[in-house]
Amino acid sequence: MNVTDIVNELSLDLLAGERGLDREVLGGYCGDLLSDVMANAEKGSVWITIQRHQNIVAVALLKELAAIVLANGYQPDPETVEKAKEEGIPLLVSSLAAYELAGKLYEAGMKGEFS
């Protein structure tokens, strides 16, 4: 499964990072505390969060995450979109809650670190 598959499966809105749509997705992680994500998210994971500031892009780069999904319809700061574009990190938005997103990814076969 790659990021494009997840975009299509969950009807996500792509705001940035088109270059990264072919990245393989190896799992997932839910969390809003950046230090927790840095300590526990695995490389290749899709990160589901409600954080909107540009530090999420830095964490995604550091952990080599496949994509960032903002839950609950949260829209990122303009600086975050620009940073994600520069770095090629797919930045996605869903109106669904993090719990629902994680459940749908799990049902689609993604059995990663959803916590």
Write the pLDDT tens digit of every residue in 74-110.
999 999 999 999 999 999 999 999 999 999 988 888 7
Cβ neighbors of 71 (< 8 A, separation 6 or more) are 48, 49, 50, 94, 96, 97, 98, 101
Flag whether pLDDT at 115 surpasses 50: no
The angle subtended at Cα 29 by Cα 18 and Cα 89, nearest 5°, is 20
Topology (CATH) of 3-107: 3.40.1390
- Determine the Cα–Cα distance for residues 97 and 114; give it in Å rounded to an integer: 14
- Determine the Cα–Cα distance for residues 9 and 103; give it in Å rounded to an integer: 12
